[in-house]
Structure 1
Amino acid sequence: MALLAPGAAPLVTKLCDPTSAWSGWVSVDGQPVEIYQVEHKDRNSTCYIEARDDKEFVVHFGPRFAGGTDLAVYAAIDGSSVGGVSLSRTRGNLPHKFKGARVSSTAICPFQFAHIALTDDADEACQTESVVKNLGTIQLEVYRTRILGNVPNRERYDSVKQPVVDEKSKKATMSHSTAYGAAKTSVSSGQTTLVDWIDGLGSPFWTLEFKYRSRALLELEGIVKPVVEPSPPPANARATSASPSTSGSNAAELKGKGQKRKAAIISLSDSDYDDQDDLRAKVARLEAEVGQLRGGGAGGVKREKEDVKPEVEGERIGKTSKDEKGRTVIDLLDEDDE
């Protein structure tokens, strides 16, 4: 986790309902991730988080047991249920972790952020409406119940896999979906809780929802501020700081490394957002540039197609700003030659 500068506001990592009766958060490498743009509407609390490429994540739920009822909490990822837990009001405020999708009584497959999987084959694409509609989301559905007791577990387990989406139906504002890592040992209790439902199944009392996107998309949508990387010192400053023993040829070499070419500018006007295909192309290009600069991949993963490497050479993202016409302007500053 990044260290905060002195006087900086603490990171907000927990998503709560308006009364703070329940909270949820997502962790990567054992650390909770920051949440952005929290909203509450129609028994839903929503926020955005950054999807970190190929990283496993864990979903947490923290109850307060307001109202004195027991709870049933179901986790749904990309519109598919991946686990549930019954929490007794006598249990206190102990949080519960959803570490992965259970595939047997002794194993789970951990959740993993992955670039969205696309296909141009309509027959191969996922047709489940709830999955297509909720792609890129992590939901915690909270139900009020009364626990009656425990019975032996007779649940059947299905295999899990990352959904494959028709590239024609994929939204331009989508970047990632969830894949599942190799199975890990996790032994089930063998018991299922029998409950009396206060809220009907399928109509949760409250839902906590995390919308996960790439950093590039979060910046493009104005959800997070662009990361401004520090500029290298001017060439003459570096030459001045060189030791007196530096030879003339070495000094010339240092000066040459400090030179910059003219900054390239990408301007995205409001009219650019009218066409989804055009926006998809812009998003893909921006993600490719960010991915190359940060040493990672970008864009969706298309099945049975060769990846096309973006034609971007040595560009560094400087900053994003608004010009006088309300357009988003992204300065791309060339890196120093090595």
Structure 2
Amino acid sequence: MNYRGFQACVCSDGRMLDTYAHELDGHTVKCYIASEPGKSFSVYWKDLVGGARIRGTVYVDGVRACGNVSKGFAGEVVDRAECMSSATTSRELIFSAVNLTDDENVSNPAPDCGTIKIELSKVVLVGLNGVRKYSGIDRLASPPLVNERVKKLNAHCVSLGRERPEVAHKVAQTRPLDPNNPGPHVTFEFRYRSREWLETQGIIILVKDEASKTTAPPPDVKPSKPDDIYAQIAALRVRPSAYPLHSPLDDTSNMQGQLCKLEELALLQKEDLKPPMAKLKLLQCKSGTTIDLTGD
């Protein structure tokens, strides 16, 4: 998704997850993604404008999982796939199915269950003596227990993978760039559900045609005039910020391929427009013969 000078996405199983049913709510953009239990995932965000340090905070199921403070230059990309479990260890983020029970005393899932939220705020770096809190690790370490009456929702949650070592690092301490506007500059909210549930609710079908238009590779272009080629080349060289709301970070790959084809066609057209070289005719002359070179 692309909003307010930033792009963000969720990746799993080596690919970027498609987004569906986009909604805007102030500085927040929301969508649905299809999750698969047992698959690890990572979150990405990209600063398209730059000019200020960005504190990115990732919440999964309402729990702060990880974060980052960027350097503030345009084009900077941050990706996180783990939750810090201690100062020197982390655990990967994994989609999981919730545990069901017939116990009527078990409460319903928390409102934020089934959400991945990325909050991006413009900040000023104050120091590197911040204190990291690990209060949410216990909640994420074991999937929640919910009553089986919510089984029809086919609900998923986020759990943690095995622990792995991490290099100890200092925690950044920041303050808002604008004290009068300390809230997030933009928030991306991904509501993850099973593909079956999304199809049952018609969420995937509603945007099927739209998604095919935005993700299908561009057709081969065979313009007949050189001016057409250069016009299309110029049209493809647009700023990333001009892409539609649902463009993923690497949506430009198809356009780059089309751009290369157009540039090759331009070179071929340029060669075809060159005037043909005059064919030289070898004349055999006897010694002492005068040749007139002034005629046609």
With the shorter chain as reference, the TM-score category is: 0.5 to 0.7
- Residue number in structure 2 paired with 1:85: 68
Choose from 96, 103, 118 the match for 2:78: 96
- Residue number in structure 2 paired with 1:209: 189
- The answer to whether 1:157 aligns with 2:134 is yes
RMSD: 2.8
Choose from 46, 59, 76 the match for 2:59: 76
More helix by share: 2
Deviations 1:186-214 (A, max 9, x none): 2232x122222136899422210111111
Greater RCO, 1 or 2 (C-alpha within 8 Å, sep 6+): 2
- Residue number in structure 2 paired with 1:105: 87
- The answer to whether 1:118 aligns with 2:69 is no
Question: How far is the alpha carbon of 1:108 from its aligned partner?
Answer: 1.1
- Residue number in structure 2 paired with 1:180: 160
Asked if structure 2 preserves the Cα contact closer than 8 Å seen for 1:111 and 1:180, the reply is yes
Deviations 1:277-308 (A, max 9, x none): xxxxxxxxxxxxxxxxxxxxxxxxxxxxxxxx
Deviations 1:38-78 (A, max 9, x none): 22222111111111121111111111245x32211100001
| Structure 2 CA distance for aligned equivalents of residues 172 and 208 of structure 1 | 27
Instruction: Give SS of 1:224's match.
Output: helix
Question: How far is the alpha carbon of 1:157 from its aligned partner?
Answer: 3.1
Question: How far is the alpha carbon of 1:173 from its aligned partner?
Answer: 3.7
Q: How does 1:230-245 map to 2 (within 5 A)?
A: none
Question: How far is the alpha carbon of 1:154 from its aligned partner?
Answer: 3.9
Asked if structure 2 preserves the Cα contact closer than 8 Å seen for 1:119 and 1:164, the reply is no
Asked if structure 2 preserves the Cα contact closer than 8 Å seen for 1:110 and 1:182, the reply is yes
Asked if structure 2 preserves the Cα contact closer than 8 Å seen for 1:64 and 1:93, the reply is yes
Instruction: Give SS of 2:205's match.
Output: coil
After TM superposition, the score normalised by the length of structure 2 is 0.60
- The answer to whether 1:46 aligns with 2:30 is yes
Question: How far is the alpha carbon of 1:164 from its aligned partner?
Answer: 1.5
- Residue number in structure 2 paired with 1:37: 21
- Residue number in structure 1 paired with 2:110: 132
Choose from 154, 174, 194 the match for 1:195: 174
Asked if structure 1 preserves the Cα contact closer than 8 Å seen for 2:106 and 2:147, the reply is no
Number of residue equivalences: 202
Q: Where in structure 2 are there 5+ consecutive unaligned residues?
A: 207-296
Going from structure 1 to structure 2, the CA distance change for 1:199 and 1:46 (only over 3 Å counts) comes to farther
| Structure 2 CA distance for aligned equivalents of residues 171 and 141 of structure 1 | 30
Q: Where in structure 1 are there 5+ consecutive unaligned residues?
A: 1-14, 227-338
Instruction: Give SS of 1:192's match.
Output: coil
After TM superposition, the score normalised by the length of structure 1 is 0.53
| Structure 2 CA distance for aligned equivalents of residues 161 and 71 of structure 1 | 28
Asked if structure 2 preserves the Cα contact closer than 8 Å seen for 1:78 and 1:136, the reply is yes
Question: How far is the alpha carbon of 1:30 from its aligned partner?
Answer: 2.5
